[in-house]
Amino acid sequence: MMVNHSQSADLTGRSTLLVLILSALVCLLLLACGGGSEEKKVRETVRMEPPLASELVTSANFPVSLAFAPDGRLFYNEFTTGDIRILTPSGQFLPAPFAHVDVAVPDVEVQAEWGLLGLAIDPEFEANHYVYIYFMQPTHGAEARPVVMRFTDQDNRGVNPTVIIGDLEESRSDLGFVNVGGNIHFGPDGYLYVTIGDRLVFTSEDLTTPTGKILRVRKEDGSAAPDNPFVGTEGADPRIFAYGFRNTFDFTFQPQTGLMYGNENHSERCDELNIIKAGQDYGWPATRLNLTCERPKERPESIQGIYNYAAPGTNPEDVYSSTAPTAIQFISGNRYPRLGDSLLICEFVTKFMRRLELAVPKQDKVVADEIVAEDCSLDIAISPDGVVYYSNETEIRRLVPG
């Protein structure tokens, strides 16, 4: 239909008036139903009052992972330099690194999650003196390979470097944020657990590849634990313990029950806390378009997280609600009565140290959430005498007991 200028102006005016009327009606209806933007409720950010005091232990160069030896020495990784360093039990910084590895470092433009990442002390350290690391080893061009390596401590120096896992798939830094997971810890069963991110290739449900999985391996040679859930499954990588992950930065084990808890980073929204069990599917990548933080219909049997994190002023389902949870560690109320027996989390985006209280006896639900500190973004470790140490990009600090 042809319309002249006067008719066009008249139609435009009527359309504008109609839109204004409809908008007003919608606003009234929303307000009447309690659904207006003014009424939107977001998760409350509760801070511990008065806050616990903390004190500086040492300045440090992006100390991404912390681990205590039984003798009280604190080992820590420098993310970009490839140096593993030591603080003595008295707090003395040893100028010579324990060990060094050449690492593929993050490109500032794409911010690939590469470098020296995970760190673990052998549960039999007093007898064998073994220290394990997870790092991104340069291969060629824009590629790097995740490697798990073991050193032997000899008078504060790491000797006899031995590759434990060296056959993982390469990642490309030119893909942007390259999710490599990158942490290692020993379970109460004595096996080494390893997180592998999805590398942005969306094969986390594919059991033929370790990508997007948590592995459980023998510490001697990186081979599969003999009772892993997919040992004997045709085509499956027998090292896989659980699958369907995007980027699990860290995990820990509840001291009394042995249950495994892990943080999962879901990009812009729905970061979650999981109880990780053998053989279970945790839903990625089908969850990547999920706006409700619920498990997708494509994978109805996948495991739902027990808690979703949210940045201040948001709900977990909101775009940009991500907190990027990093460290996770159980703490005893014996040394910190105000914290009680709880779970401590640190977040890269908010810098919060978050205390989560779990319901008893099953410990499968979060019943309290409060902020303990606002300068923790990387890791948490508990000293042999029960003191909480934590790190951010430039410091290692400790919570004053109380």
Q: Which residue has the higher pLDDT, 282 or 18?
A: 282
Residue 269 to residue 286: CA distance in whole angstroms: 14
Place of tokens 């495991």: 303
The answer to whether 319 and 351 are in contact (CB under 8 A) is: no
- Model confidence band, residue 390 (pLDDT cutoffs 50, 70, 90): very high
If you average pLDDT over residues 1-20, what whole number do you get? 36
Residue 366 reports pLDDT greater than 80:
yes
The verdict on pTM exceeding 0.85 is yes
Q: Which residue has the higher pLDDT, 382 or 110?
A: 382
Averaging pLDDT over each range in 4-8, 203-207, 298-302, which range is the top one? 203-207
Q: Which CATH superfamily is domain 59-318 in?
A: TolB, C-terminal domain (2.120.10.30)
Residue 175 reports pLDDT greater than 70:
no
Q: Residue 41: what pLDDT?
A: 62
Domain boundaries, the chain: 59-318
* Strand ranges in 230-360 using DSSP code E only, listed in sequence order: 240-243, 251-253, 260-264, 272-276, 307-308, 325-331, 342-347, 353-358
If you average pLDDT over residues 184-212, what whole number do you get? 95
Q: Residue 321: what pLDDT?
A: 93
3-state secondary structure of 5: helix
Beta bridge partners of 154: 157
Beta bridge partners of 54: 399
Provide the residue count of the chain: 402
Q: Residue 117: what pLDDT?
A: 96
Q: Residue 349: what pLDDT?
A: 95
Strands 130-138 and 116-121, bridge-based pairing: antiparallel
Beta bridge partners of 380: 390
Give the residue among 369, 349, 257 at the shortest CA–CA distance from 306.
369
Q: What angle do CA 314, 316, 320 make, to 5 degrees?
A: 65
Alpha carbon separation from 116 to 94, 130, 150, 199, 359 (Å, rounded): 19, 17, 13, 17, 35
If you average pLDDT over residues 312-324, what whole number do you get? 92
The answer to whether 222 and 194 are in contact (CB under 8 A) is: no
Alpha carbon separation from 321 to 200, 235, 350 (Å, rounded): 20, 38, 10
What distance lies between CA 130 and its chain's CA centroid?
25
Render pLDDT for 27-56 as a digit per residue (tens, 0 to 9): 333 333 333 333 456 778 899 999 899 999
* Strand ranges in 13-142 using DSSP code E only, listed in sequence order: 54-59, 63-68, 74-78, 83-87, 99-100, 116-121, 130-138
Render pLDDT for 284-311 as a digit per residue (tens, 0 to 9): 988 776 778 888 778 888 999 999 999 9
Q: Residue 30: what pLDDT?
A: 33
| Peptide bond before residue 63 is cis, with ω within 30 degrees of 0 | no
Residue 328 to residue 369: CA distance in whole angstroms: 14
In sign, the C-alpha dihedral spanning 217, 218, 222, 228 is negative
Q: Residue 111: what pLDDT?
A: 58
Render pLDDT for 218-235 as a digit per residue (tens, 0 to 9): 999 999 999 999 999 999
